[in-house]
Amino acid sequence: MSRIQRSRIPREIQRALIANSVLAHRTQSEGGTHHPARFDTDSLPIGINNRCSFCISDKEYHFKDLQKTQHVIKGFGNRKTINVMAGTLVWKWLDDDGKEHTFRIPNSFYVPLGKMRLLSPQHISQVLRKRGLGQFIEITEGELCTLQWGDRCQYRKTIAVDPKTNVFNFDLAPGYDNFYAHCAQCAEANQEDDLFEEDLEAPTAMEAAMVSDDEHDNDEITTPTSHLEGESEPSEDDPEPLMRQTPMTFDLDMDKNENSVPVQIEDDEEDTQKQNHAAEFLKYHHKFNHCSPAKIQAMAKK
């Protein structure tokens, strides 16, 4: 924009344009809030906590060989969870290069009431060292947390701090193992239902008769006949009855007697309703086009 063009624009509008351009530049530089969407069933968040003695999960399908124990877990505010179950925890996550790694961590605790999953760095480090599977190192900085493992710590996973909670969380590897396990349970339930149905007696089906809907069907129809006592059934030698040549007329009033008294129909007393004064007044009120009661009374006096 040249100076001549800028001078033609009022100063108030110039200031508004400059402020909007600065605000737009700041918005683009900071970036918006990211809301990641999940389209799998396995990538649950895991928290890192070196104050946790053992790894903990609230999902039963994360474990193998779960057994009851007498261990007691003490949480925040000295809250205790007794008789927790322990087993081998199986977790999978991706390193910084996108490679998937599987970790089997024995003596981990299943705590469904915890509603969270916690990774104990010292616990998994002790397990890998005892099994001769290399090292496991956790490095915590102000903004980043780094997990390293392997024979030469060649694998690395970098985790950024959550600005809202100021803790380090990372997601398990994406997958559908939990969904497949659910489908397997549903299939077993369906098989049990099928076995139960096989034990039931098969329904009995009766032979059905076919009814034709053809109106022009020429099938012969036989009608049953009845005979009085003493009569013999007609034989083939009997002559056929003569057909009437002229039509026969009849009158519904032919049997009427001229001297007969007509039938009188009387209504039951219960069906008759006594007409009171209010009903009679309403009748005349409608008859005279909804005139006022004073006019109706005046006409009644006349």
Report pLDDT for 267.
Answer: 54
**Going residue by residue through the chain (302 aa), what tens digit of pLDDT does each one get?**
555 555 567 777 777 767 666 555 554 545 455 556 777 888 899 999 998 999 999 999 999 999 999 888 887 667 888 888 999 999 999 999 999 999 999 999 999 988 899 999 999 999 999 999 999 999 999 999 999 999 999 999 999 999 999 999 999 999 887 777 778 778 766 666 555 555 555 566 666 666 666 655 555 555 555 555 555 555 656 566 556 566 666 666 655 555 656 656 555 555 545 556 777 778 877 787 777 888 878 887 77
Could you state, in order of their start, the residue ranges of all structural domains in the chain?
Answer: 45-180
- As a whole number of Å, the CA-based R_g of the chain is 49
Neighbours of 160 (CB within 10 A): 11
CA dist list (Å): 257 to 252, 260, 261, 262, 265: 12, 5, 9, 10, 19
Report pLDDT for 97.
Answer: 95
Residues 264, 273: Cα–Cα separation, whole Å = 20
- 110 touches 60 (CB < 8 A): yes
Report pLDDT for 48.
Answer: 96
Residues 290, 296: Cα–Cα separation, whole Å = 10
CA dihedral 90, 96, 97, 101 (to 10 degrees): -10
